Structure 1
Amino acid sequence: MHAEQRRLEVLRAIVEDYVSTREPVGSKLIAERHGLGVSPATIRNDMAILEDAGLIAQPHTSAGRIPTDLGYRVFVDKLSDVKPLSGAERNAIHMFLDSAVDLDDVVHRAGRLLAQITGQVAVVQYPSLRKSTVRHLELVRLHPTRVLLVIITDTGRVEQRHIDIDPSISEDDIASMRGALNAHAVGKRQPDVSDDLNCASEQFAGPLADIFHAIVDLLTATLDEDNDERLVLAGTSNLTRNGIVLTQLRPILEALEEQVVLLKLLTEVAEDSGAVTVRIGSETQVDTLKETSVITTHYGSNSNTLGALGSIGPTGMDYPGTIAAVRAVARYLSRILSH
């Protein structure tokens, strides 16, 4: 084995053993466990070179070493082979998500499932209204002067908005507006909805036209809302069980409460559909998350990304296993929402 390749294998051994034991890894253990075919003395020399390169560090006076953030980065980029999920894990994902009853249930189940598989914090973004198409629109009269607009998207997301109307508007008028809304909006995304419905408004006159325009404005504003990016967070209690010390816990929890921070981490993911983004320590560019790593990916179809999900855990996480879990849950979530 070439010396450079052997040093990478030494790095792999240090990362894998440290993630498994949370203890600094020494040359003698590497020689015994990993069968590199060289002596502990040679491994010590390799470890010295890795340390000079900033890939491992000596936490105290022991002979053992632990990976640095840069070491984890090299491991992820060059060494980690994504571990396929077991058949039992794949079946569990399939059965658990397939039994969901509505969109809220699907998203919450996806979060709980990802947190359970990884033993870390899971974040799931609701499907974006901007990227969804309209499946059905409903107008329900709640009061002589108030109507409820119900928006149902192709992903199963449901939004409700109220609008005031003139009491002279009849039930037949409401039915006519309902028909026009569905005839011109179903199957479309914003901004196409606005253009088509404004053309449809020509069939209405007087107060009815004013009400129809107001409904169209409310509908298009709802589909274009910036704050429609809702999140589900699951598994925060896992932080206390996977190597994060108490002094680091409070700032991490505070960061997780900041929805803007989480949305930024989720939305800044690889553009390629199915690709997984791994940010380690300071790469998150969030000071309070510098002791964590964030693994994220999109879900949706190749032509229409609906949202993102991710896993947050210590920098010393099981990267291959977490990458596989994030990818698998995203794939199943995409399949369910496409149906």
Structure 2
Amino acid sequence: MNADERRFAVLRAIVADYVSTHEPVGSKALVDRHNLGVSSATVRNDMAALEEDGLIAQPHTSAGRIPTDKGYRQFVDRISQVKPLSGAERRAVQSFLEGAVDLDDVLRRSVRLLAQLTRQVAVVQYPTLTRSTVRHLEVVQLTPARLMLVLITDSGRVDQRVVDLGDVLGETDVARLREMLGNALNGRKLSEASAAVAELPETGPDDLRMSLTQVATVLIETLVEHPEERMVLGGTANLTRSHGDFPGSLRQVLEALEEQVVVMRLLAASQDSGLVTVRIGEENEAEDLRTASVVTVGYGSGTPLGGMGVVGPTRMDYPGTISAVHAVARYVGEILTGR
């Protein structure tokens, strides 16, 4: 083992001990607890070198050392083995999420799960409409002059709208209407679908123009809504357990979480499905989150539908947190895309 590898082994041991004990770590404890294969004097020299590089620091009240943001970053960048969830955990995650009845339920459950698995605050963004595709539009005739439209997207979102036609339609006309709307919508991205629907009153047959206008008006409202401004938050109480990790600034972190725009920006940056992003302390753009770490990932197979992740202290179990965020995102993606 060369000097660099040995120093990283010492850094990794300091991170592990500090995360589990919340106590600054001394060289004697490292030698006693970790099989580093070198003398106390070598460990002290390595710690001095790590401190000089700004990877660990000495809190003024203690003889031990704690990792800095830069130290955590080097540790995270060199995690070769992300701790996988156990088989039992994976089965529990899967069965808990598969019990969900609709999109809202899937997202609420995933937030609860992530908060429990990581003991941090969990956030999930609703699927962004701009990336959703219309899977199917069902047209149900309630009365001769009233229809119910059921719009289903590939992200599992289901919208129901009732339309008063101002005109009486027979079964044949409803079938024609259903076919025209299906051709305009099915398989299209929502932004393209709203443009196609807007043209229908102009391009459709004269005898259905009035009905098409009514239906198009209602559908366009549905298609251009903005649920991407919505997110689900869970486990905020977990932060209070780590109160000591946020010296004088826990309130700031809680306020940042309430400020949805800040969190939405973090989640929107999770563009790649399956690629976990970790922002540590000072790396966070939002000033109020500079004492926290944020672990995020996109969910949805292929093109991500939205982002999810956790916010917690910089003193967190990074391998375990990355693994939990990755696993929950994968299952949520599979459930929503029906794979």
Same fold (TM over 0.5): yes
Deviation for aligned residue 1:335: 1.1
Judged with a 3 Å threshold, the aligned counterparts in structure 2 of structure 1 residues 108 and 227 are, in CA distance, closer, same or farther, namely: closer
Cα shift at 1:170: 4.3
Moved more, 133-142 or 234-243: 133-142
Percent identity (aligned):
56
Unaligned runs of 5+ in 2: none
1:305 equivalent in structure 2: 304
- Output the CA distance in 2 between the equivalents of 1:171 and 1:105: 38
Q: TM-score, normalised by structure 1?
A: 0.89
Aligned to 1:55: 55
Distance 1:93 1:40 in 2: 43
Decide whether aligned partners of structure 1 residues 99 and 31 sit closer, same or farther in structure 2, where only a CA change above 3 A counts: same
Cα deviation, residue 291, structure 1: 1.2
75-84 or 148-157, which moves further after superposition? Answer: 148-157
The answer to whether the Cα contact below 8 Å between 2:119 and 2:238 also exists between their aligned partners in 1 is yes
Instruction: Give the SS at the match of 1:285.
Output: coil
**Which amino acid letter does the alignment assign opposite residue 257 of structure 1?**
E
Greater Cα shift, 128-137 or 13-22: 128-137
Q: Which residue pairs with 2:26 in the alignment? A: 26
Letter of the structure 1 residue corresponding to residue 8 of structure 2: L
Q: Which amino acid aligns with 1:309?
A: M
Aligned to 1:235: 235
* Distance of 2:161 and 2:259 partners within structure 1: 26
Cα distance in 1 between the residues matched to 2:150 and 2:237:
36
2:281 corresponds to = 281
Which residue in 2 is equivalent to 1:203? 204
For structure 1, which runs of at least 5 residues remain unmatched after alignment?
Answer: none
Equivalent residue, structure 2, for 1:67: 67
State the one-letter code of the partner of 1:156: G
Could you tell me how far apart the structure 1 residues matched to 2:247 and 2:209 are? Answer: 61
Deviations 1:276-328 (A, max 9, x none): 100001212111111111111111112x2211110111100000000000000
Instruction: Please give the secondary structure, in 2, of the residue aligned with 1:59.
Output: coil
CA distance in 1, matches of 2:276, 2:232: 19
Equivalent residues, number: 335
Q: What code does the residue aligned with 1:219 have?
A: L
> What corresponds to 2:263 in structure 1?
262
Measure, in 2, the Cα distance between the counterparts of 1:129 and 1:70: 37
Secondary structure of 1:187's partner? Answer: coil
Tell me what 1:329 maps to.
Answer: 328
Post-superposition offset of 1:9: 1.0
Q: Distance in 2 between matches of 1:125 and 1:308?
A: 5
Shift of 1:78: 1.7
AA aligned opposite 2:20: S
Which secondary structure state, in structure 2, belongs to the residue aligned with residue 130 of structure 1?
helix
Distance 1:37 1:228 in 2: 53
Distance in 1 (CA, whole Å) between partners of 2:64 and 2:218 is 63
CA deviations 1:133-158 (Å, max 9, x no partner) are: 22333567899998765432122212
8 Å contact 2:272–2:304 — kept in the other structure? no
Q: Deviations over 1:254-281 (max 9, x none)?
A: 1111111111000112x44311100001
Q: How far apart are residue 192 of structure 1 and its match? A: 3.2
**1:12–1:79 Cα contact (<8 Å) kept:** no
After TM superposition, the structure 1 stretch with the greater mean CA deviation from structure 2, 145-154 or 245-254, is 145-154
Counterparts of 1:114-153 in structure 2 under 5 Å?
114-138=114-138, 149-153=149-153
Which runs of structure 2 are paired with 1:80-229 in the superposition (5 Å)? 81-138=81-138, 149-160=149-160, 166=166, 168-170=167-169, 176-197=176-197, 200-201=200-201, 202-205=203-206, 208-213=208-213, 215-216=215-216, 218-220=218-220, 222-229=222-229
Is this contact kept in 2: 1:125–1:230, CA < 8 A?
yes
Moved more, 226-235 or 252-261: 226-235
Contact 1:80–1:319 under 8 Å retained in 2: no
For the residues of structure 2 that align with 1:257 and 1:217, how far apart are their CA atoms? Answer: 34
- The CA RMSD over aligned residues, in Å, is 2.6
User: TM-score, with normalisation over the residues of structure 2?
Assistant: 0.89
